Amino acid sequence: MPSIPSSVPFVLGKDKEGALTGAVSFLVLHGPVYRAYHHVGVALRPDGTIKTVAVMDLKAEKPQEVVTEQFLGQFADKTSRTLRFAEDINAVSGATESSRTVLTAVKVIVAVFLKHVKEPV
């Protein structure tokens, strides 16, 4: 299980009236494998739906595998309810731990956004 940081910073986008238009957050998670780390960025819509996910930097056994559009594209338009490993998000063969760590980072960012950032409807 990756270590989870105690805080998650967000950059918020707002329109001229001050309404939330989206948010971006970056999280660094250290994976379960010795010296593995993952810098994951997530862009969210105002309702908490994922717009895009990016892996900015990582050190892992098969780093090139979890930065592909095929893997990261699975996160687009997902919500907190549709982020289940092996059901909604498929792991990269041979990079299961990195896949799990990226998914964990995304889940943490979405959860913190929904609890602390998202404006009430």
Pairing status of strand 10-14 against strand 20-30: antiparallel
pLDDT, tens digit, for every residue of 40-59?
A: 899 999 999 999 999 887 66
Interatomic CA distance for residues 15 and 94, integer angstroms = 43
pLDDT, tens digit, for every residue of 10-39?
A: 999 999 999 999 999 998 877 665 566 678
What is the CATH classification number for the domain harbouring 19? 3.90.1010
Handedness of CA 79, 9, 104, 92 (dihedral sign): positive
Residue 4 lies in a domain: no
Interatomic CA distance for residues 100 and 98, integer angstroms = 5
Which domain range does residue 107 map to?
10-117
∠ CA 40-104-32, nearest 5°, is 90
Residue 3 lies in a domain: no
High-pLDDT (> 70) share of the chain, %:
80
pTM: 0.86
Q: How many domains does the chain have?
A: 1
List Cβ neighbours of 16 (8 Å cut-off, separation of 6 or more). none
Residue 74 lies in a domain: yes
Residue 1 lies in a domain: no
